Chain A
């Protein structure tokens, strides 16, 4: 936490480098010809001369290190390969679907974190009280539910039984009401999911903070409860909370990918479902790379937020 900016920079560079390298190594480490993975089995069977040509253009007949250079060059030119199941360049599909996923993921992340922040604080302060123990156990119960199943359950109950919401798909037209009705169920599903994760996190942190002597001082000064809560309990707990909540963003993002499938939300998750069925490896790998980069970016933003909330870091 109190590390310098250079180390942090090194860490992010290393993370991105590692993600890109893992992506490079996966098809080459797997049994079988990597060309098949790039082209799809159908093309491989039909057009052998095309296979040879592609093998040369990807440099798959060269040593691994040279292949890596070619791979990096292609990546920096925005060439992530060609999706044979969609019949389009991979980057085009990602550029279209990633924003849709973010539209679905970001609002629940923010709302869920805030709910989790307060719920966790309430449960972490005087955690030995029975009511708080019951509440914490309830949060743990929600934490154990796979988010996509929660989505299926909500869909069954609210759209099929009560007929309140459409059963999925993308919002159509400019109509606000239409948009809200399509977004509502996945939004609630993900908010509940994120809130359960973050409240457990915050509870642990607040339990630690409340042992501090400054908390006792603040209490004995006779501060009003809300002021005590915000200034002396939540504020010192914020920096670690933000760091860990950013790590949890990986979970939220992964969860959102699966929730998208349930609600037929046309983002990266639904694309992943289609790519798995078609065994469209270039597309699948690009989804991994962009998901990972999004999560890394979120962690970077969290680090900045930390500097804002923690005066000790601001001075450094």
Chain B
């Protein structure tokens, strides 16, 4: 499985590299803006042009940045919320745990995408709103695994020792429970990045992306709306979808590898 993780990591690094270098790459590229709409790939426009004559490759580079930022930030929010909720629920147990557990189960059942679409439609289309909407609705999965982990640690000997030494709950949670959930949380975080990228592409595809920040999903939106799909202009949507799938796959591969390694090693508390 290690090799698969390495493949995932290299995909992530490659896309991050492109997103950091995108301003320079865009300068270097032979781009002829406002040439013809739907010009097929040629030496002038390596991946052709879109409906308003913009270079598709330039769009792809800009999209890399948007997708990665949204994926990363949304995953940070959902992981922070998930770890906090999961830790509190698992550590305190009892009534608190029952209530939170019920809420998590309920939220896992409600389909996320339609709810995100409604919320995003009400809010101003900006990347921060997209990040918030995804981040604040994607935590229940993380909370669930962290909760199980927090319960295991609570039952372990060293926590009991700490209690005998008179450590407060806050101290135990901050210094001992949360640090011990890092590995599960890390796997969930990386998987959340993948899901956030996919969700963002869905939101942008339906037309709720930030018009000032071009993203891959938005390219698919315009390809659908302005007829590139039925007009056979494959270069307008095949590369964009490929990029979405490839980045999401990179994060999935890495995330699953970490998750599996954690599961195989068993549930020992170090």
Contacts and interface: CB of A to CB of B under 8 A. Distances in A.
B109 A250 contact: yes
Contacts of B248: 144-146
Contacts of A10: 102
B171 interface: no
- Among B105, B113, B248, residue most surrounded by chain A Cβ atoms (within 10 Å): B113
A249 to B, nearest CB: 8
Contact of B194 (A18, A144, A155): A144
Contacts of A11: 102, 105-106
A144 B249 contact: yes
Contact of A272 (B1, B123, B206, B241): B206
Interface residues of A, number: 51
Interface string A203-218: 0000000000000000
Interface string B192-233: 001000100110011110000000000010011000011010
A22 B116 CA distance: 12
Contacts, number: 137
Nearest to B249: A144
Residue of A11, A273, A299 contacting most chain B CB atoms (<10 Å): A273
Residue with the highest number of chain A CB atoms closer than 10 Å, among B105, B122, B240, B246: B122
A288 B252 contact: no
Nearest to B141: A247
A20 to B, nearest CB: 11
A149 B220 CA distance: 8
Q: What does DSSP make chain A's interface, helix, strand, loop or mixed?
A: helix
A133 interface: yes
Given A143-B252, A284-B121, A276 B102 contact: no
B268 interface: no
A201 interface: no
Contacts of B1: 133
B245 interface: yes
A279 interface: yes
A27 interface: yes
Interface in A124-163: 133, 137, 140-141, 143-146, 148-149, 152-153, 155-156, 160
Contact of A285 (B109, B111, B118, B237): B118
Nearest to B240: A149
A4 to B, nearest CB: 14
Interface in A265-311: 272-273, 276-277, 279, 281, 284-285, 287-288, 291-292, 295-296, 299
21 contacts: A14-B102, A19-B110, A30-B123, A37-B122, A140-B249, A144-B194, A144-B252, A145-B245, A152-B220, A156-B238, A160-B230, A247-B108, A250-B111, A254-B111, A254-B113, A262-B224, A284-B117, A285-B118, A288-B114, A288-B115, A295-B111
